[in-house]
Structure 1
Amino acid sequence: MENITFCQSCGMPLNTDEVKGMEQNGVKNNEYCKYCYENSSFKNPKMGLEDMKETVKNKMEKMKLPNYMIQKAVNVLPALKRWKTKQQ
């Protein structure tokens, strides 16, 4: 079974280099996707967990994914690195 890494901000699978975020020096970041992270910082640094939950839910609904899958994705967000550090 393949070990897939997920964005530690939105939960998106980081299964290709094309979706990985980038550091200022051009190195791909293995923890965050390009939609959340660019040039060594978050694209939307003031975004809170509730905003991210809504964003993920809306994107997945547009993709016509089943509700159980959407709920699972939203439920995992608080355990991701970006949000865990803000809850402490």
Structure 2
Amino acid sequence: MQDFENMKFCQSCAMPMESEEIYGTNADGSKNEDYCIYCFKDGEFTSDMSMEEMMDFCIEKMVEIHPDIDRAQATAMMSETFPKLKRWAND
């Protein structure tokens, strides 16, 4: 069973970061514990998108990966989570 209270989530896309292999990288090559490899590489975000664009992308992925979650549920979860993530908190 996973310990969600202590689990790290990407502060850009909210993906669970269950191991260091998923951590993004800083400019000096060190691991970045805030962002995943898909969102952050070599000290920069991998894509220049708005929070809404990121949410749309992640909603598609979530319903694809989790057939038990429909688009409305995924949208509700993302709408609550994303504004609290570091990358989007100041938007």
Shared fold by TM > 0.5?
A: yes
Tell me the distance in 1 between the aligned counterparts of 2:68 and 2:79.
13
Please name the residue that 1:3 is paired with: 6
For residue 66 of structure 1, the aligned residue among 61, 69, 72 is 69
Q: TM-score, normalised by structure 2?
A: 0.82
Please name the residue that 1:26 is paired with: 29
Q: TM-score, normalised by structure 1?
A: 0.85
Contact 1:11 1:77 (8 Å CA) reproduced? yes
Q: Could you give the per-residue CA deviations for residues 3-56 of structure 1, whole angstroms, max 9, x where no partner exists?
A: 111110000111101111011222110000001000001001x20011011011
Structure 2's unaligned 5+ residue stretches are: none
Detail structure 1 runs of 4+ shifted over 4 Å in the superposition: none
Please name the residue that 1:48 is paired with: 50
Structure richer in helix, relative to its length: 1
